[in-house]
Amino acid sequence: MTRDPRAASTSLRDFLGIEGLAPGELEALLDRAEALLPAAMGQVRSEPKLAGRVVANIFFEDSTRTRVSFEIAAKRLGAEVVNLGASGSSASKGETLVDTARNIEAMGVDAIVVRTSISGGAALVAQHVDRPVINAGDGRHEHPTQALLDALALRLRLGNLAGKRIAIVGDIANSRVARSAAHAFVRLGAEVIAVGPPSLVPVGFDAIAAGPGKVSITHDLDGILCDIDAIMTLRIQLERAAGGGIAPDYRAGYGLTSERRAKLKPGTPILHPGPVNRGVEIDDAVADDVADSVILKQVSCGVAARMAVLLRAIAD
């Protein structure tokens, strides 16, 4: 049985990407996530709106922050969680992602969270199951809940993102984080500046997103440092054949060193989606700076953002 993913996105609350999400719906999700932050952090007890529900996390790519925060988010809301990885499933015997998801659906779960190396894999699952599907990262395509938590972390520091200039630096060609973040920030009215060596910034990336903001491209990080409101550094994704021999020279041109950090405007928030390759894309002193690094705040916001998405998928 195959269903129309567009209809499902309306009736079953799939969350497959930021692209196509209305700005008002994005703002509503961010507002809800911000309201959920105290509960996400265990500072107050959250209402168990998902009590009696079961969330299945199908993670066929390695993950720490995303998988654990989805599990914590579901449990904060009272749901039970089933975690499935490729190495402990029939995927190791050749079973397809879709067949795995359909079998999990047949066991009576209420929502399926999917992480896969296949671009478009979450949408493919959504076409074949009658449960809400949430994209936890699919290949080089999108990572929509990461974009939510990044936008939330920035809103907490900068307020309204309209008119802000946000640099995304690094391996943009292979980054689903960069794509989802660009879609989100532009919808919120920000200017995104994609920065990196020509081999890692795809031609046409400046046309990726639609909204009141815009995307531009530069290969000169030092030339923009004094004129941005936030900076996100990205990991070189060697597992996706990125970089080749570029890694040894990357820090000299694009690493966020202490010297470069000193050129930023005071109070400029510094983000990184993790995992961090310290001493490559960002130096220890910058990543651990208590004043301006919001890397751990991003992690906290991730639980709240995923609580908001789970409520949208199951409870609304």
- The answer on 197 and 123 residing in a single domain is no
More confident residue, 20 or 192: 192
**pLDDT one-digit tens code per residue, 39-73:** 999 999 999 999 999 999 999 998 999 999 999 99
Tokens 């909204």 found at: 211
Whether residue 83 has pLDDT greater than 80: yes
Please indicate, yes or no, whether residues 230 and 293 belong to a single structural domain of this protein: yes
Question: Quick one: pLDDT at residue 20?
Answer: 86
Please indicate, yes or no, whether residues 119 and 258 belong to a single structural domain of this protein. no
Q: What angle do helix axes 144-158 and 65-76 make, rounded to 10 degrees?
A: 80
Q: In what order do the strands lie in the sheet with 270-271?
A: 214-218, 191-195, 165-169, 230-233, 270-271
- Provide the token pair at 55: 């969330």
The mean per-residue pLDDT over the stretch 145-165 comes to 97
**Percentage, residues of the chain above pLDDT 70:** 90
Where does residue 292 rank: exposed (0-12), middle (13-18), buried (19+ CB within 10 A)?
middle
Same domain? For 262 and 159 the reply is yes
Instruction: Retrieve residue 123's tokens.
Output: 């949408």
For residue 206, the enclosing domain spans 144-298
User: Confidence class of residue 5 from pLDDT cuts 50, 70 and 90?
Assistant: very low
Q: What is the pLDDT of residue 241?
A: 52
Q: If you average pLDDT over residues 97-120, what whole number do you get?
A: 96
Q: Does residue 288 have a pLDDT over 70?
A: yes
Per-residue pLDDT, 85: 86
Please indicate, yes or no, whether residues 122 and 156 belong to a single structural domain of this protein: no
20 vs 30 pLDDT, higher one: 30
State the average pLDDT over residues 175-187. Answer: 97
- Asked if residue 53 lies in contact with residue 80, where contact means CB atoms within 8 angstroms, the answer is yes
- Residue 316, pLDDT score: 87
Count of domains observed in the chain: 2
Same domain for 293 and 153? yes
Element (H, E) at 195: strand 191-195
Same domain, 226 and 216: yes
User: CA distances (Å), 145 to each of 36, 51, 75, 102, in order?
Assistant: 15, 22, 17, 23
Do 207 and 265 fall into the same domain? yes
Based on the domain organization, do 179 and 277 belong to the same domain?
A: yes
Per-residue model confidence (pLDDT) at position 10: 37
Considering the domain architecture, whether residues 116 and 210 belong to the same structural domain is answered as no
Report the C-alpha gap between 117 and 274 in whole angstroms: 17
Q: What is the Cα 115 distance to its own chain's centre?
A: 11
Look up the CATH number of the domain holding residue 54: 3.40.50.1370
In this prediction, residue 93 carries a pLDDT of: 59
**Over 70: is that where the pLDDT of 185 sits?**
yes
Amino acid letter, 79: A
3-state class of 142 per DSSP?
strand
One domain, residues 70 and 26: yes
CA angle 155, 159, 163 (to 5 degrees): 100
- Both 48 and 70 in one domain: the answer is yes
Q: 206-251: per-residue pLDDT in tens?
A: 999 999 999 999 999 999 999 999 999 999 876 655 545 555 688 9
**pLDDT above 90 coverage of the chain, percent:** 85
**Between 162 and 246, residue with greater pLDDT:** 162
pLDDT exceeds cutoff 80 at 102: yes
Averaged confidence pLDDT in the chain: 92
Q: How far is CA 191 from CA 130, 165, 270, in A?
A: 38, 5, 16
Tell me the CA distances in angstroms from 290 to 25, 179, 284, 286, 312, one per residue in order.
32, 28, 12, 9, 33
Q: Is there a contact between 50 and 315 (Cβ–Cβ < 8 Å)? A: yes
How many Å apart are CA 80 and CA 65, to the nearest integer? 19
Rounded Cα gap, residues 187 and 160, in angstroms: 12
Query: Average pLDDT for residues 249-262, to the nearest whole number?
Result: 94
Number of C-alpha atoms within 13 angstroms, CB side, residue 209? 31
